[in-house]
Structure 1
Amino acid sequence: MNRQRPVQVLLWVMLSLSTLGFIDRVTQPTAKNVPTSGMSESAVFQDEEVSAFATAFARQWLTWNKQETSKDWQRRMQPFVTPSLLQSGQPVSIGPKQKGQQVDDVFPTHVQRVGPSAYLVNVDAQTSLHALVALTVSVELDAQPVATAWPILHPAALGSSPSTPSVGPTAPNSMTATLNPVVTSFLQTYFSGQSPTDLAQFVAQGSTIQPLQGLLKWKDLVNLQVYGAGPYTVIATAEGIDTSDGVSIAQTYALKMIQNGGKWFVSSLEP
């Protein structure tokens, strides 16, 4: 009897098993790494979802009709707020002589994330009674966005300057000359842009600003003042043309400017 026969059979079996194991590893699907670049895109999409929600909510909240019952008003607000908040609300008071308020245009101006799923959205609106209404909407984004408080109204007279006592001393003229073209280019794109991605080259990382979507046509930069010693606060007054009626409107903004990699970016914009 050939004593090498069992050894040859054993080697053949081991070789077969090894080959099968290799084939199995080759044919198994490989795990894919989760792309990290999608996180920033997801954040932008969330900001846009919150902005759209806040805009729709502000439009409904500002719309008022004297003949509307309290029950009908609550029915309009129900898709936007929590049940407990709904019970504590009432229509916007616009005076006993007014029969109602219609909203012409609503557009978000700034989105700020203040928690893992909490946002503050600044919204501007033009109504049948007011040339400009500025308000802040608190939004919680879970499975779907919901307002966690009634909007806060802010005074927003056209052409008025934001208060400047807390922004520091006036910056040197050289800094005004440096930031002037940056702010001008940003505001021009802010007037005409359609989504936050249009402002990506101007806005600081982590901030999202919703442009006016062509509501105003750019005309000119009327005035620009720079305060602080870095980061800087820029108070800029720009003139635009209302595309609905051709009327010139002066808008004043407070911009926070920061420098990164030798370039200047807008970290926030307040009307």
Structure 2
Amino acid sequence: MRTPGGLVKRLGRAVLWLLVLVLLLRGVASVMEPRRPGAVAATAKPAVASWPDDEVRAFASDFARAYLTYNAKDPEASESAIRAFVGPELASSVVPEYGEDAPRRAVGSVSVARVLRVDDSRALVTVAAAATGGTRYLTVPVARDARGGLVVSDLPSLAAPPTLASAPQMSGESLPASERAPIEDVVSRFLTAYLAGDAGELSFFTPTGVRIGALAAEHELVDVTSLALVAPAQGRVREVMATVRAKDAATGATYGLRYRLQLVREDRWLVAAVNSSKKAG
């Protein structure tokens, strides 16, 4: 005979087997289900600073200024300024030796003329310094250590200036006879306002949407000595070279100047650009 206790035991076994079956089915389903690849966070690679960089150029420029400066009244200050850029091994040999009657030397502007990368941590930086007696070119050896520190690693050297080039003067073509008078007129009036620093007047001679700044210091247009086409006349655009004489209102000095002007024809000739490679439409 089946007793209530036996029925409960059988029912319990059935429930247990059912639970085991559910767990097995879930396990199989999880194995068979395609897995999505985990998202990988994109990390920006740190930018690798170029060598030699602007900091190296500035460092070499500061050394050149100190090296070429001399104050006979305080020579120790000049020496200290130079030694601040070098290590102990160069401290006794890097400072220039001056005679007793050596005049004072000063340095104005400095600029980097050229840079030579020797390897990953050394470079030769040639600096042009406007010093007393003329511009001097000084090549400065600069090295960088593992911490990023900079040092003048060897004695500098005096360098030659760039060789003066022999370049032919740009030749031009004559303006078409039918265009010469109106182009000469707009060029003369435009340059009068441009040299005088009259920005408001310039807007009358430029196309809509084009803004050309005027000189900051006032000059007077004396005359336009020549006007020629830089490129053959084409469409409604003309590239002209204007040779002028201009007088500085403050000093009275007269300069010979040459401007490359881009003109565009609308209802009249207008100046679209000054000394620019920009092309008008």
Q: TM-score, normalised by structure 1?
A: 0.47
Q: TM-score, normalised by structure 2?
A: 0.45
Tell me which of the two structures has the higher relative contact order, counting C-alpha pairs closer than 8 angstroms and 6 or more residues apart: 1
Q: Which has the higher helix share?
A: 1
